[in-house]
Structure 1
Amino acid sequence: MTSPGERGANGLSEFGYAQEMKRELGWYTSFAVAFGFVSIATGIFTAYGSVLSSSGPMGIWTWPVVVLGQLCVALVFGSLAARIPVSGYAYQWISRLANPVLGWIMGWVSFTFLGVVVVAVDYTIAATILPVLFHYQGTNQNAWVITAVVLLLQAILVALSTRASQRVNNVAVTIQMIGMVTLTVLLFIVGAVTGVLDFGTLFSTGDVPSEGYFALGGLTSAGPWALGFLLGAFTIVGFESAANLAEETKNPARVVPKAMAQAVLGLGVLGMLFLIAVTALAGDPVALAQSDTPVADVIARVLGSYVGNALLVLVVISIFSCGLVISLSGARLVWAMARDKRFPGWQLLNKINRKTGTPMNASMFMFVVSQIVLALFAGSTQALFSLFSAATLLPALIYAATVLLYIVKRRSLPPSKGFELGRWEVPVLVLAVAWLGYELLIFRDASFAEPWIYVLIMFGIGALYLGYLLVRYGAKSLTMPDMHDIDRALDANPHEGRSVSEGGRS
């Protein structure tokens, strides 16, 4: 039997919504969603070569800084998810705590991020892994076709069954964790036994000049050390996807914050050990940086071609899992905004299919969007870099805006239903702000011009639709569903702080 406290944490009536989807996800599934989106196998495999080129082997030491910064962001998100455990995450939080116009903007930015990151992730399979695994010549054209097929398979799975999607992801995450731990241990043992483990490589800059290595850079350029942060910044994102499935999670106010923090911390430690092993076994890092699959090359050389191919299979599984979670999260965000009549075509996108119990229309809409994004980028010879750069820039903007909102509203937040920062709140916020400010400065580098163009185009489209909403309905009509239960709870517990701003009530 459910306790009153659990009903309060699970219920949606206080947020003005009815429970439309089954609440059946437990802790491991929530953790697997966060873990699967972050996916160190995917991120390290995709970005490691770029870091070798821009920062040399010593660039891997940016990883712990990113882990600490993103962990602080995850803790802030956990504090918000424990107060407003509703699908739509940052869109819901900012709409209710600031105002619905700012919330809509954040929802649109989140949508543009999910639309590009799923393509960035799946494109890696077609562009860098399958050509090596099956020994064929990769081209822009066949990468385009293969990515489109992978996106279609993920969309069908998400549209037809949440339970099946979660089971596939749970299995994939379990395989990834076991595989990455086993690989890391084997690399250290075999490297030590054969005498090829060279820890001196960890402090080499490769062919990157050591002079000015830690320089801040100029107005339109970032220093070599700074560019190394892209490895972690691209990889350790998406943990908030667990919050986007809050309406389908049991006791989400307790489960979701824990899942996000544990995923970031666990991935951070495992990822650092794996990076140390691979880099200490790199041999000639300058030559290795020229490879499309540097991580697989190291593993094949040290452990043999069979293990190298096994790694590629592991990465394919991890990437498919990652793309599946992104598609799932994107569909939930679109559905959540459409439910509030805030998304183009909301009349179709706000429906839950009775047979599947999923937002099928929203799922297929995300598939169409991903195909458009793929078409925009796939013809470029720098497609993979442009995609992963855009997929790193957008979450940095989302995280920065959400953390700033928390700082402004932290004295008047709704009561927590399961997680609070307590005395760690100020240190966590200071570290999160310092990290996000530094991260955003990296994107002034001229090499990120194409991702900025994508961002500006998507912002322009969003601005047009927002203008339409404001002209058609007026700013005062853009309110969130009734939160009167929260108001009553705060009246009964005045020391907990005040609720949302008046503009966020019906």
Structure 2
Amino acid sequence: MTTSAHHPRASSADEEQLAALGYSGEFERSMGLWANMALGFTYLSPLVGVYSLFAFSLSIGGPPAIWWIVIVGIGQLLVALVFGEVVSQYPLAGGIYPWTRRLWNRRYAWIVSWVYIWAVIVTITAVAEFGGGFVAALFSVAATPGVVLLTAVGLLVVAFLANVSGTRTLARVAKIGLAAELIGVVALGLYLLLFRREQPFSVFFDAMGAGGDEAYLATFLAASLSGLFLFYGFEACGDVAEEVSDPTRRIPKAMILTIVVGGVSGLLSYAGYVLAAPDLQGIVDGENADPIPGILESSLGTVGSKIFLVVIVTAFISCVLSLQAAGSRLLYSFGRDRMLPGSRWLAHLPERNAVPINALIVVSVLPMLICLFVFWRPDTLARVTAFAVCGIYISFQAVVLAALRQRLRGWRPAGLWNLGSWGLVVNVAALAYGLFAIYLLIRPGDADAFLDRWIVAIGVGIVLVAGLLYLAIARPDRHSDGVPEGDAIEVAAHLQQIRRGAGNAPSSTVPSEEIR
């Protein structure tokens, strides 16, 4: 094993575990617990999630839609606990790709990661597009398609420049984004709750006519997006595992903190806006599709709302930054294992700043191209983003399923952070929740047109079929024979040996040559 000289903070234990997994340290381990949590939190971004879906979810399910934040938060916490055990044993850059490879095999990992990377790229596009409207509002410019395109591209460029500056800059901006998020969701949410309340708390048990004469259960299920769109991004904590010191302990904690703090923040923010809305019935009836600026104006005044828009734009930049970081590490990990065309180029890691610049270019340029397509066809933004969240949830459950498969074969996670005897129960519960969430995302909508009713299923189907065809015809996995796969049980045993001070890694655990 070799470790570059510019990694002074890499502990021998961190690098010993990395060597046992077949890799040498190339990144700078300059990210601590709070920076790692900030990265996941700004990717999850309760501010972006609540602002993007507030009016939409209220118009579908009324004020009780807020309870989806609680339901989905608990479900995703189960998923995060499973992820915590996996990343503690496999603290590798790229997250979902190396986890699924080592828990199942390289072909399974390839198709799961194919779905995930496209979902991330589309999500980057969507966040940049949504953020463009707030940038326009900040400068009092009409949010025309041309303005939104320019501001979206601007957000992508600013985030890219911050990312290529190195892991330390990424950590600093993520912390700034975390502060902006907490001000934006917690501080303002509490202010609205305490001083600007227009509605009684009982409103959260009043549908206010949402769903019409239909049974409210169906209406409530349709409003699930208010929670489902909010609770992902915690996996980004694991995407940068090789840039975190003591990752086997810190990353699981960062994931859990991301879910808990993000959930409480989102709940406070959503509740604050509902209770401070002067005309809540109008929002529920769909008469006001963008109520938050009006609520801000009435609560904070013109100057206050402008200051708050600065906070919002900061949060959007940080969210794009975190998304780019997560997507680039996945592409880097793919390239390092020679699983894609141009793998050597994607896996290039300059020593000066130790970030995968070429992979960052890909996850910045492709969203720009999609932004151009949205500019040409503005009505397609909702359609191209509809599959993204479902694709991410499918990728999550692919990890949960692979972990359960290994457990049933005898795997006992050997990371320094694990659930012990509760692991199997949590794993089964996480899978059951995940399948329910995927059903909620993929179920047909209420639109009359076939395409609009089944848009999520169609989007996922197109990406899956394209990926499977490419995998079958081009066999991108054939160049990656020397990299371990499906070795969870063997690695767990080997890590236990290391901690007992016994022996070296068995040959099946470490490739014949270090992967660079």
- State whether TM-score is above 0.5: yes
Q: How does 1:54-453 map to 2 (within 5 A)?
A: 54-126=60-132, 128-191=133-196, 196-209=198-211, 211-215=213-217, 223-288=218-283, 289-411=286-408, 412-413=410-411, 415-442=413-440, 443-446=442-445, 447=452, 449-453=454-458
Residue 214 of structure 2 aligns to a residue in which SS?
coil
Residue identity opposite 2:467 in structure 1: G
Q: Give yes or no for contact 2:411–2:492 (8 Å, CA) kept in 1.
A: no
Q: Counterpart of 1:65 in 2: which secondary structure?
A: helix
Alignment of 1:42 onto 2:45: no
The structural deviation recorded for 1:450 is: 3.7
Give the Cα–Cα distance (whole angstroms) in 2 for the partners of residues 74 and 426 of structure 1.
Answer: 14
In the alignment, is the contact (CA less than 8 A) between 1:296 and 1:311 conserved in 2?
no
Identity of aligned residues (%): 25
Quick one: which amino acid aligns to residue 424 of structure 1? W
Distance 1:143 1:3, change over 3 A: closer
Structure 1 residue matching 2:267: 3-state secondary structure: helix
| Mean Cα deviation higher: 3-12 or 19-28 | 3-12
Separation in 2, partners of 1:391, 1:69: 19
What's the secondary structure of 2:475's corresponding residue?
helix
Deviation at 1:9, TM superposition (A): 7.1
Distance change >3 Å, CA 295–CA 437, structure 1 → 2: same
Q: Which residue is equivalent to 1:219?
A: none
* 1:153-211 CA distance string (max 9 Å, x none): 2122212322212211211212321343221221122135xxx2322432332442354
- Rate the CA distance shift 1:398–1:98 in 2: closer, same or farther, 3 A: same
Distance 2:146 2:453 in 1: 24
CA RMSD of aligned residues (A): 3.1
Among 26, 36, 39, the alignment partner of 1:33 is: 39
AA aligned to 2:399 is T
Letter in 1 for 2:259: V
Does the CA contact (< 8 Å) of 2:103 and 2:487 recur in 1?
no
**Cα gap change, 1:481/1:384 in structure 2, threshold over 3 Å: closer, same or farther?**
same
**Shift in alpha-carbon separation, 1:337–1:184, aligned structure 2, 3 A:** same
Question: In 2, distance between residues paired with 1:373 and 1:453?
Answer: 18
Structure 2 residue 472 is matched with structure 1 residue 467: yes
2:89 is paired with a residue whose SS is coil
2:84–2:251: 8 Å Cα contact kept in structure 1? yes
Bigger drift between 468-477 and 75-84 goes to 468-477
Q: Quote the offset at 1:21 in angstroms.
A: 1.0
Deviations 1:423-461 (A, max 9, x none): 433442343223212211122224464444443343344
1:320-344 per-residue CA deviation (whole Å, 9 max, x = no partner) reads: 1011001011111100110000022
2:387·2:459 contact (CA, 8 Å) conserved in 1?
Answer: yes
Cα distance per residue 1:248-284 (max 9 Å; x no partner): 1001010000000011011111221222221122232
Aligned-partner Cα distance in 2 for 1:213–1:504: 58
Structure 2 counterpart SS, 1:356: coil
1:108-128 alpha-carbon deviations (Å, 9 max, x no partner): 1221121111111111111x3
Residue 24 (structure 1) aligned with residue 30 (structure 2):
yes
Cα distance in structure 1, aligned partners of 2:23 and 2:303: 52
Structure 2 CA distance for partners of 1:365 and 1:448, relative to 1, 3 Å: farther
Greater displacement, 135-144 / 265-274: 135-144
SS of residue paired to 1:82? helix
Distance change (3 Å), C-alpha of 1:86 and 1:4: closer
**Residue 487 (structure 1) shift:** 5.2
1:361-392 deviation line (CA, Å, top 9, x unaligned): 11112112222332344444444433543332
- Is contact 1:30–1:249 with CA below 8 Å preserved after alignment? yes
1:292 deviation in Å? 4.5
1:166 and 1:8 map into 2 onto residues whose CA distance is: 19
CA distance in 1 between counterparts of 2:327 and 2:350 reads 17
How far the C-alpha of 1:4 sits from its partner, in A, is 12
User: 1:187·1:277 contact (CA, 8 Å) conserved in 2?
Assistant: yes
Question: Could you tell me how far apart the structure 2 residues matched to 1:372 and 1:460 are?
Answer: 22
Normalized against structure 1, the TM-score is what? 0.88
| Structure-2 separation of matches of 1:138 and 1:419 | 47
What is the alpha-carbon distance in structure 2 between the residues aligned to residue 4 and residue 345 of structure 1?
A: 29
1:37, 1:282 → 2: CA distance? 27
Q: Which amino acid aligns with 1:205?
A: A
Q: 1:480 to 1:159 in 2, by over 3 A?
A: farther
Q: More displaced, 445-454 or 107-116?
A: 445-454
User: How far off its partner does 1:141 sit?
Assistant: 3.0
Which moves more between the two structures, 17-26 or 54-63? Answer: 54-63
Could you list the runs of 5+ residues in structure 2 that have no partner in the other structure?
1-7, 446-451
Q: Is the 8 A contact 1:297 1:308 kept in 2?
A: no
After superposition, give the CA deviation of every residue in 1:89-141 in whole Å (9 maximum; x if it has no partner): 12111111211110111121221121111111111111x32343333332333
Using a 3 Å threshold, how does the CA distance of structure 1 residues 122 and 424 change in structure 2: closer, same or farther?
same
Q: CA contact under 8 A between 1:88 and 1:336: conserved in structure 2?
A: yes
- Compare 7-16 and 116-125 and name the one that shifted more: 7-16
CA contact (8 A) 1:213 1:225 kept: no
